[in-house]
Amino acid sequence: MVGTPLAGALLLLLPAGRFLPGDVAVRRYGVAVSGVTLLVAAVALAAFDFGSPTRMQFGVNEEWALSVGLRFHLGVDGISLPLVVLTALLTFLCFLYTIKHPPAGGSTRLLTALLLVLEVGLLGTFVALDLVLFFVFFEVVLIPMYVVIALWGGAGRRAAAYKFILYTLLGSGLLLVGMLLVAVNAGTLDMTELATRQGAGLTHGIQVTAFLLMGLGFAVKAPMWPLHTWLPDAHTEAPTVGSVLLAGVLLKMGTYGFVRIAVPGAPEGAEFWAPWLGLLAVIGIVYGALACLAQRDLKRMIAYSSVGHMGFVLLGIATLTPVGLNAALFGNIAHGLITGLLFFLAGAVKERYGTGDLDALGGGMLAKAPTLASILTFASVASLGLPGLAGFWGEMLALLGAYKPHGDLPRETFMTFMAIGGLGAVLTAAYFLRMLAKITHGPPSEVVAARSVAGISVYEYAAWTPLIVLTLLVGLWPKALLEVTTAPVRALLGGG
Amino acid sequence: MIGLASAVVLLPFVAAFAGMLLGPRLSSLLGARTTTAPAPDPVPGGGPEAGAEAWQGAATEAERSFLKNGPAIIACVPIAVSTVLAAIIGLTVWGDPGDRTGVLTRVATGTVPIELGLQIDGLSAVVAFMVCCVALAVQVYSVAYMSKDPRYSSYAAFISLFTAAMLLVVFAGDLLLLYVGWEVMGVCSYFLIGHHWEERANSRAAVKAFLVTRLGDVGFLFGIFVLGIGAGSFSIERVLDEAPSMPHATVTAAALLLLAGVAGKSAQFPLHTWLPDAMAGPTPISALIHAATMVAAGVYVVARVYGVFVAAPAALTVLGVLAVISMLGSALAALAQDDIKRVLAYSTVSQLAVMAGGLAVGAKNGAIFHLLTHGAFKALLFLAAGCVIVVTGSNMLRDYGGLRQGMPITFWTMTVGLAALVGVPPTSGWFSKDAVIEAAQHAATRGDASAADWLVYVGLLVTVAVTAAYATRLWLMTFFGENRGQGAYELKEAPMLMAGTVTVLAVPSALVGFFGAGEAELRPHVGSAVLALLLVIAGAGAAFLVWNRDPALDPARALGPARPVFLRAFYVDEVYDAVIVRPVRALARYVITFDDRGIDTAVVGTARGARRLSELARLPQNGNPQAYLTGVLAGTVVIVAGVVIFL
């Protein structure tokens, strides 16, 4: 699964003259490679033994560097499976979208190769079961993303790309130290082993320090307030496909890391920091929502909305309960689907009207581009957490977790978090509805009326429909996802 | 049985998707003449502003081509089937009372599981039947009313989706499942209020409705958490079993939190402000969502989990006080409104408060009885008002007058509806209102009656008088006196599809009360009935006397200086705007600046600081070999000197 895009990317190193001359061929090639990857992921999904989602399946466990105990250990369980499929799907959809809507900037060949390497890193992160391996994949993701933003981005792309890479590298540094601290003291790099040990053999002090370091590393990625400022810039400047992957999958690496490594690896540390994590999470929810409420740029608004949504995910993690971690994983998937769709739509709006400024767009999009505006409405309503669509369950379960957090955590504090989070949910609704009212309602503005915009192309439909359908399916039948994650989550928390 | 109930819920749900995706296509398949995209005229208030005449023409045409109207068929047929099924369920439950529950599956959450299940009992069966009937009536009515609308297809689909959500609320056996339906209703209400989004005011009204109700819903969700975690299950049955044994504080907290959601949905003070604005939606929507069904859902839910409220008397007291404020305040506001729909909207708030008041004094059956009769007569009133609006092309009472002559069907049906609203015997409203008043009287005259009981009782009686006054004003100003339309419209009856529906609804509005006569609790009592009747006569008489002095003028002038206060509904909107809306906006703007100047400056500043530091560190490494050499030499000298001196 990881090998397919890697091989695909390596093949693109061949000189352009000999291998796949022409942009169109390269784009098709990208679709094909990511399509095969998706197929592999789908096969994994089909072959996955849902009877025991806790067990690591499709494992590879080879010696890699024996002297330091490094192993090439990969595997999929109920926690990573949904994320793996999501990654493969979103990458594929991005390639599909690029066929007809390539971003202006560098060469297509380079973009295709970069996106494939990106996919390698993302998939690798989710299937790695060795700390060092995990870190390697974690870092592999950074460079292609940096280049994608720096080459295909908007006007302020240089600054945004620098900010992105420096921020996340700093986070990674802390993360590495934290992970090594755990690994050296526990004497193993194996993540499944660490999870079963539940921090046995680590002193309280080491756990607290290690969780702090790892937490900071993951929190930059998530991003958690107040470490989020790279995100709006990166999103605003990145091309559509960059934004989709950034929001859809990249952010999930942070929260996945929390669930997979930080919480089971250093449970006492998690307990020590959980109230702080919860506090920053709810600040993020309200802060993100307020920032959206006064935001003028569509992409920037969606970026800040990610801060809010990831706040719910982090709140779920902070509760240290099965329901909270379930909420986090559910929120991850839902956010990937919905925000991915939202960024596609924001890209489509910008492509058609030449601006993403809410005031400049003015209004009346429902009159002039009814389908686009309707899908935008759908995505917004999904994102504000309407029950029956994917966004709701993650938020609801996170709040439910906060109502009754882990026994050793201060319950009153978390109930306050829950109440604030609830208010954040109202504000979330407020800014999405404000955005919809601003650009889709009302009489057509000059910008909207002046251009007779293109209808939605087949490729756009192809990229969006799976996201819409999945948002509905997951929302209407949350059991599909919760069934897979509940058991492994309990195991990670040390329960049966 | 559960299968039947699932079908009742699922049919409109499927219809919604089918209508959304296939509606127009089915029309062309059936060979309808494609009226090539009628220019979407701008729309004030209720409907397309094509002028009353064109509107009527289109409505009449729509009624003739019903079988070729794809969206209309997709919308009407499933709900008709649902209505029949709901009737079967109702009859079965009547014949063999008792709870029936069915659980489709359990969803593990990591803590208390969610049960996807339905529960049928007498309460849910009868309310579901009412919902289906009103929804069917509204769908049929809309075929004509919305015929000029280019987006009829999505409009009908949203009504279907709404109906499914409401039925889910009614049948849900699990609190979280109920919440799903509850919120979906809210979003449908948002879409339908904002159906004519070309007008900014409608869009604003839609957003307001959604946000205000959502604020309440967050409390509602937390209430569900408290109950679910407390009982170890979200199933309504289990929760009701456990409620009496839960700690008192828990139950009270849960009940109060639930009340927040109830106040939001049922438009009770202090979350009532969205409902009058919601009248921006098309009139049939006002009839279905904002009169008969969704707003009644709050009252329904309190009845559904009444055991929790009984265990928390404090919550019932709060409910009673809120109800009294809502019923009196909005009845007074209704007295001064100019817009016929706003009169009816405030009247809805007031009548819902009557139900809530009934619940507060323990009259659960009386309240539900009033919910059912109110559903019938308020839907009738709104749809009849829609007929008036179609014919006159205006929402304003000042443009009516003397409509009795041209529109006999509308006149008589509306008379029945208003009589039921006021509580004139023997209409349905008289029976149900009397059941509530009687219960309140009983509670107030009990030995251990609290102040709240008295408050509810007195509030109900005063409301009866005020209700009579505003209903009489509406009736007289619309149908009597000289026509004030100045020839802007031709006076004739609304299309049969509309007038017919209204007539059909008039039957239950008039007669459904007699069904209650079978139960002692719901039978009229002489004492309270006579008292209420006297008050009705007083209120209606006062309105008539003022009007009679000069039928061309608005009787509301008698209110004097209080009139603007009532018209603006005691300035609650203005207060909220100043206290909540503007501060939040300001805070949001502040956050943006803070994010750019505060946090980000700190980050960028760190980067700059690092660069300065590195520049300092770079100073010695200026790439000049001489400088390096000098440094090396100087170092050597220092070391040598050190060695010589210290050794």
SS3 A21: coil
**pLDDT lower than 50: segments of chain B:** 34-50
Rounded to whole angstroms, the Cα distance separating B560 from B545 reads: 16
Find the mean pLDDT for residues A256-279: 88
Q: What is the pLDDT of residues A400-411, one digit of tens each?
A: 989 888 888 888
Tokens of A13: 């190193």
Interchain pair A399, B42: CB under 8 A:
no
Q: What is the pLDDT of residues B348-357, one digit of tens each?
A: 999 999 999 9
Q: What is the pLDDT of residues A47-71, one digit of tens each?
A: 888 777 777 777 777 777 666 667 7
Interchain pair A397, B109: CB under 8 A:
yes
Q: How many CB pairs under 8 A join A and B?
A: 143
Domains in chain A, number: 1
Buried b (16+ CB within 10 A) or exposed e, B502-517: bbbbbebbbebbebbe
DSSP B421-486: HHT-TTSHHHHHHHHHHHHHHHHHTSTT--HHHHHHHHHHHHHHHHHHHHHHHHHHHHHSSS--ST
Tokens of B455: 């408050």
- Mean pLDDT, chain A, rounded, equals 84
Q: Which of B107, B200, B206 sits opposite A442 (nearest CB)?
A: B200
Interchain pair A321, B110: CB under 8 A:
yes
Tokens of A194: 């660490």
Other Cβ atoms closer than 10 A to B146: 27
- In a mutational test of the A interface, the residue from B13, B111, B115, B116 whose CB has the highest number of chain A CBs within 10 Å is B111
Task: For residue A249, give its domain range.
Answer: 3-492
DSSP 8-class letter at B289: I
What is the value of pTM for the model shown? 0.88
Interchain pair B183, A321: CB under 8 A:
no
Interchain pair B222, A399: CB under 8 A:
yes
> What is each CA distance from B603 to A163, A177, A454, in whole angstroms?
9, 22, 41
Rounded to whole angstroms, the Cα distance separating A465 from A348 reads: 14
Cβ B376 vs Cβ B452: under 8 Å? no
Smallest CA–CA distance from B215 into chain A, residue: A426
CA angle A373–A378–A379, rounded 5-degree value: 100
pLDDT of B41 reads 43
Radius of gyration of chain A (CA): 21
> What is each CA distance from B154 to A363, B18, B151, in whole angstroms?
20, 10, 6
pLDDT of A379 reads 92
Most confident of A8-12, A132-136, B461-465: B461-465
E-assigned strand segments in B326-433: none
Find the mean pLDDT for residues A258-269: 86
Other Cβ atoms closer than 10 A to B579: 10
Q: Which of B110, B221, B607 sits opposite A323 (nearest CB)?
A: B110
Give the helix/strand (H/E) hosting B114.
strand B114-120
Query: How far A397 CA lies from chain B's nearest CA (Å)?
Result: 8
E-assigned strand segments in A240-383: none
Other Cβ atoms closer than 10 A to B206: 28
Q: What is the largest CA-CA distance in chain A?
A: 70
Neighbouring residues of B583: CB distance < 8 A, sequence distance ≥ 6: none
Residue type at A317 in one-letter notation: I
Smallest CA–CA distance from A444 into chain B, residue: B198
pLDDT of A361 reads 80
Tokens of A436: 């919809």
Most confident of A183-197, A251-265, A441-455, B584-598: A251-265
- In a mutational test of the B interface, the residue from A400, A416, A476, A482 whose CB has the highest number of chain B CBs within 10 Å is A400
pLDDT of B222 reads 93
| pLDDT band (50, 70, 90) for residue A3 | low
Neighbouring residues of B506: CB distance < 8 A, sequence distance ≥ 6: B380, B412, B413, B416, B417
pLDDT of B47 reads 46
Interchain pair A443, B226: CB under 8 A:
no
Smallest CA–CA distance from B199 into chain A, residue: A442
What residues of B are in contact with residue A284 (Cβ under 8 Å)? none
SS3 B122: helix
SS3 A73: strand
Interchain pair B584, A489: CB under 8 A:
no
CA angle A43–A46–A48, rounded 5-degree value: 105
| pLDDT band (50, 70, 90) for residue A313 | very high
Rounded to whole angstroms, the Cα distance separating B622 from B610 reads: 18
Backbone angles phi, psi at B569, to 5 degrees: 55, 50
Find the mean pLDDT for residues A126-135: 86
Rounded to whole angstroms, the Cα distance separating A70 from A68 reads: 6
The residue to which tokens 């695909």 are assigned: A8
Interchain pair A429, B200: CB under 8 A:
no
Smallest CA–CA distance from A324 into chain B, residue: B110
Query: How far B219 CA lies from chain A's nearest CA (Å)?
Result: 8
Interchain pair A441, B203: CB under 8 A:
yes
Backbone angles phi, psi at B354, to 5 degrees: -60, -45
- In a mutational test of the A interface, the residue from B17, B20, B109 whose CB has the highest number of chain A CBs within 10 Å is B109
Query: How far B346 CA lies from chain A's nearest CA (Å)?
Result: 25
Neighbouring residues of B275: CB distance < 8 A, sequence distance ≥ 6: B209, B267, B290, B295, B345, B348, B349
The residue to which tokens 């949905």 are assigned: B265
Smallest CA–CA distance from B225 into chain A, residue: A400
> What is each CA distance from B278 to A288, B203, B275, B417, in whole angstroms?
29, 10, 5, 21
Cβ B144 vs Cβ B495: under 8 Å? yes
pLDDT of B39 reads 40
pLDDT of A66 reads 64
Smallest CA–CA distance from B115 into chain A, residue: A479
pLDDT of A112 reads 84
pLDDT of B493 reads 80
Interchain pair A427, B210: CB under 8 A:
no
Interchain pair B210, A423: CB under 8 A:
no
Find the mean pLDDT for residues A363-374: 82
What residues of B are in contact with residue A442 (Cβ under 8 Å)? 197-200, 203
Q: What is the pLDDT of residues A342-353, one digit of tens each?
A: 999 998 888 888
Task: Classify residue B141 as exposed, middle or buried by CB count within 10 Å of its CB (0-12, 13-18, 19+).
Answer: buried
Rounded to whole angstroms, the Cα distance separating B85 from A211 reads: 58
Buried b (16+ CB within 10 A) or exposed e, B451-481: ebbebbbebbbbbbbbbbbbbbbbbbbbbbb
pLDDT of A447 reads 75
Q: Which of B176, B184, B198 sits opposite A442 (nearest CB)?
A: B198
What residues of B are in contact with residue A479 (Cβ under 8 Å)? 105, 107-108, 116
Residue B380: closest CA among B413, B422, B344: B413
Find the mean pLDDT for residues A26-35: 80
E-assigned strand segments in B127-229: none
What residues of B are in contact with residue A292 (Cβ under 8 Å)? 588
ipTM of the complex: 0.89
- For the cut 60, the answer to whether the pLDDT of residue A74 exceeds it is yes
Interchain pair A401, B111: CB under 8 A:
yes
What count of residues does chain A have? 496
Q: Which of B107, B184, B587 sits opposite A478 (nearest CB)?
A: B107
Q: Which of A232, A396, A437 sits opposite B221 (nearest CB)?
A: A396
Rounded to whole angstroms, the Cα distance separating A482 from B448 reads: 51
